[in-house]
Structure 1
């Protein structure tokens, strides 16, 4: 199954033939069945598509994303007839700066810290055998994350000023986490530490691209479940910022992108700068993660794609009045 169709060659035209996507370049023509595609990602400039394809794609709930060369989604085409229920939207807007909002934001940070600790401990087994000095340091950083999670668990927050307190915990945890990731990467490639927009080094470029893929999947899940992507609870609302998408992404970054990157770096000998072949190979590995399975809060196994959808459904129900909020730690 193709799931994600990635187009990044200038001069490419995408059209429709029956229920198939036709991809034409100056050198070749390929066809892909829409039934096997979940999203179409158009990266860079010089790519065009037909309105017939757009119509058929939204009809079959295939999301079309436009990304810059750094992998950042700057526009998406989705159907306006998704499940945007009035009750969910009103509940989401009404929850702003309430105890419910503070509770959701706190739970997101708790799960993020738990997932960060889990990732470091997962790779720690290998470090103990081959890099015992690193293993000791990574173990200490894992313990720091565990301690921060325990402190956060017993900390209460007031509805109107919880953001800064939560980001204090999140910031300290992220500092320990990325120091641990740097030790795990070792000397394979240079990693100057986590950098977001505008990063030029290989590791951060791949991370940013992987997060862009995750962004598009979370956005699709939010829209399908009637939630507004721009009204978040952990990340503050800001013009042009999909704050709720960023909130939900915090739960899944470690398992879907970070772990994939570390495995990718261990298995490949890479140049220090990003090239299109490396970008394509890594993006395919990230996409494959969505088809892998994990255990959800109901103790049943689902694909990661389904878990994202179930998690968003649970958050929507919580905002509408369900007292139980169970976020998954993959």
Structure 2
């Protein structure tokens, strides 16, 4: 579980070998609350800006039990991390990560992540195909076939020249994205259709939902990367020159279709409407009710157990955690290859 220390005056302390969280009643009624958690119950402690505090004893208990302690801004985006001085696998993972930057093997990983994005897009269209007929059915089938072609072209991109490989991957991904979103637009009811992707700002309801949804996804991916010991800045495909968290954006690609499917559902069922957006500075942004609608829909979708892995059925949130841990293993594996090129 995640322990969010968000409200003003909240304190995380210890009693013996358990965490104790004191939450004051800010209404003045004096109904303070106390919660206790064993270390094995807690995976993350997130300390929000202008929120609560944590004691040295609680930090020590977290270190001893491999509980991740993160500093966050007011929106929950991690800005820092408390680290034990004891050796950890994170050091090995990040050393491997930095060794791979700019090498052909980094492009091998980028192709894997982008390939997963393509497969999830095709799987989403396949689900939509089962509910359509006539021209819309043919539209989806054509899009799926085209995406399959782009996927094959992606797999065939040579990685010996990193710059050429990156450009080719961007080209295939861009063409696939335009086809994919054009298809989704044509499947939506009148009034919900859109003219391609628009960012910063969005130009329509669908894109406003997407942009906000990707922001929520960003925080989830970043948190799981940090938990797995992967450095959020040291990416392979998105540039480091912009001082952005390039690895977050790299890994984020594989999970965008999950957000796409939720946004499509809200629009196709007409649950999202014009009352959920507001115009501002030449663009369209979600209103307060719009943000709540999308956040609740994403939470429900990410917690629904609908992904089969081995003999278990898990949620997308759990699948993301397992996949990002596996990525950490891949970083270690590929960095040890004898033919690593710099």
TM-score (norm 2): 0.71
Equivalent residues in 2 for 1:129-168 (5 A)? 132-161=134-163, 162-168=165-171
Aligned equivalent of 1:211? 218
Q: What CA deviation, in whole Å up to 9, does each residue of 1:212-270 have, x standing for no partner? A: 2222113321x1xxx44332222232363232233233233334x44455556678934
| Residues 40 and 62, structure 1, Cα contact 8 Å, conserved in 2 | yes
Q: Distance in 1 between matches of 2:5 and 2:136?
A: 40
Kindly state the Cα deviation for residue 37 of structure 1 after the two structures are TM-superposed: 3.2
The structure number with the bigger radius of gyration is: 2
Secondary structure of 1:201's match?
helix
Q: What CA deviation, in whole Å up to 9, does each residue of 1:172-231 have, x standing for no partner? A: 22222333444556469686754556669344213321332222113321x1xxx44332
Q: 1:318 aligns with which of 319, 328, 334?
A: 334
Equivalent residues in 2 for 1:266-305 (5 A)? 269-270=271-272, 271-272=275-276, 273-275=287-289, 277-278=292-293, 281-282=296-297, 284-285=299-300, 288=303, 293-295=307-309, 301=312, 303-304=318-319, 305=321
| Residues 72 and 208, structure 1, Cα contact 8 Å, conserved in 2 | no
Secondary structure of 2:130's match?
helix
CA change 1:51–1:317 in 2 (3 A) is same
Aligned equivalent of 1:125? 130
| Residues 116 and 254, structure 2, Cα contact 8 Å, conserved in 1 | yes
Q: Does 1:254 align with 2:257?
A: yes
Q: 2:33 aligns with which of 24, 29, 32?
A: 29
Aligned equivalent of 1:84? 90
Aligned equivalent of 2:208? 201
Q: 1:13 aligns with which of 10, 14, 20?
A: 10
Q: 1:108 aligns with which of 93, 106, 113?
A: 113
Q: Distance in 1 between matches of 2:333 and 2:188?
A: 40
Aligned equivalent of 1:179? 182
Q: CA RMSD in A?
A: 3.7
Unaligned segments of structure 1, at least 5 residues? 324-330
**Further displaced range: 187-196 or 202-211:** 187-196
Unaligned segments of structure 2, at least 5 residues? 277-286
Kindly state the Cα deviation for residue 12 of structure 1 after the two structures are TM-superposed: 5.5
| Residues 22 and 34, structure 2, Cα contact 8 Å, conserved in 1 | yes
